[in-house]
Amino acid sequence: MSEPSVAVVILNWNGKELMSRFLPGVVKSSYPNLQLIVGDNASADGSVEFIRANFPAIRIIENDQNYGFAEGYNRLIKQIEADYFVLLNSDVEVPENWIAPVIRAMEADERIAAAQPKIKWFADQSKFEYAGGAGGFMDRNCFPFCRGRLFDLLETDHGQYDDEKEVFWAGGAAFFIKRKQWEESGGLDPDLFAHMEEIDLCWRLKNMGYKIIYCPDAEVYHVGGGTLDTGNPYKVFLNFRNNLMIMQKNLPFGEAVWALLLRMCIDFVALLQFLLKGEIRFASAVNKAHYQFLKNMSRTAAKRGKSQLPYIRHTGVYQSSIVWDYFIRGIRYFSQLKDFQ
């Protein structure tokens, strides 16, 4: 029996330097039925010419403008035939055998729709990485966090998370998804543009009855902030706005009303903290995020699926507040959290 076909798809925007650093490792990936594709979001730095000259085995698909992460990938994947898609960030280093273990784990259960490998920090490969770690979770107020990373604290990998596990969301740095579920779910939401689009997709898949898993038998190394660094107010805007949007889209209606009101109050506290620290640009980004969310509520409401399962019943939901536990109770490690669905 032949292996399922896999397409590794890297979305690029002005990432020539990243391409030169990380594409050599991707090209060496060992998998018998593999396509390698770079999709370009109208780069102006010579990325396409560089890839064409140095990596002839890689297929290039060019978008006519920068559509962001979500719509950029949607447009690319429409042009690709494969059983599995792997959305791989341009700033990820991969070892040779990083694909097959995840595909084997996903093939074991038809209800598994998406997965991620262990995602570790490129700068210190003994530590988990911010955007994925050992699988993504959500707390009762819909704050996302990871095994191996609570807020800015990155754990050292001692094998403490070497168990395959169903999670709430898979990290977008190396995101595996079956073609069937990609098409059934409609792919990524272009209105999110970038940030939390993988959480939204996983949440929709879970509302459809599918599973998301973490596979520890493969690992990759993520630089992070390759196209938008953590000190950028636009990233703050996207994170705050998009979190509200995915809550409105995916929570049952009654839960969404109260959860959004509470969340906006919590966000206001964050805005005040930015102001007290003199970080005016970040405070303004939070204010703008709320304005844009409220302005587009009717548009977002139209995207709600046919059914939203009770949120706290989903596997991967922490029944308490991660914000309270981290900042008030002093909990620093995922292993200290006990109240899970």
- The predicted-structure confidence for 284-316, as pLDDT tens digits, reads as follows 999 999 999 999 999 999 999 888 999 999 999
Angstrom CA distances, 321 to 137, 187, 199, 286, 325, stand at: 12, 29, 18, 21, 6
- Written as six digits, the tokens of 34 are 């593999």
Coil vs helix vs strand at 78: coil
Angstrom CA distances, 297 to 62, 260, 301, 322, stand at: 32, 11, 6, 26
Query: Backbone phi, then psi, for 210, in 5-degree steps?
Result: -95, 165
Side chain identity at residue 143, one-letter code? F
- Beta-carbon contacts of residue 220 (< 8 Å; ≥ 6 apart): 92, 93, 94, 95, 98, 117, 118, 119, 120, 173, 174
Side chain identity at residue 20, one-letter code? S
Above 80 in pLDDT, residue 229? Answer: no
The whole-angstrom separation of Cα 19 and Cα 193 is: 22
The whole-angstrom separation of Cα 8 and Cα 14 is: 19
Mean pLDDT to the nearest integer, 169-177: 97
Mean pLDDT to the nearest integer, 254-276: 95
pTM of the model: 0.95
Coil vs helix vs strand at 284: helix
Mean pLDDT to the nearest integer, 172-196: 95
- Which residue in 255, 219, 241 sits closest to 297, CA to CA? 241
- Written as six digits, the tokens of 102 are 């995840």
Q: In the chain, how long is the greatest CA-to-CA distance?
A: 62
pLDDT of 109-128, one tens digit each? 999 999 999 999 999 999 99
pLDDT of 15-30, one tens digit each? 999 999 999 999 999 9
Mean pLDDT to the nearest integer, 317-331: 95
- Could you confirm whether domain 6-222 is CATH 3.40.605.10? no
Q: Enumerate the β-bridge partners of residue 85.
A: 7, 177
Residue 258, CA atoms < 13 Å, CB-side half-sphere: 5
Would you state the pLDDT for residue 87?
A: 98
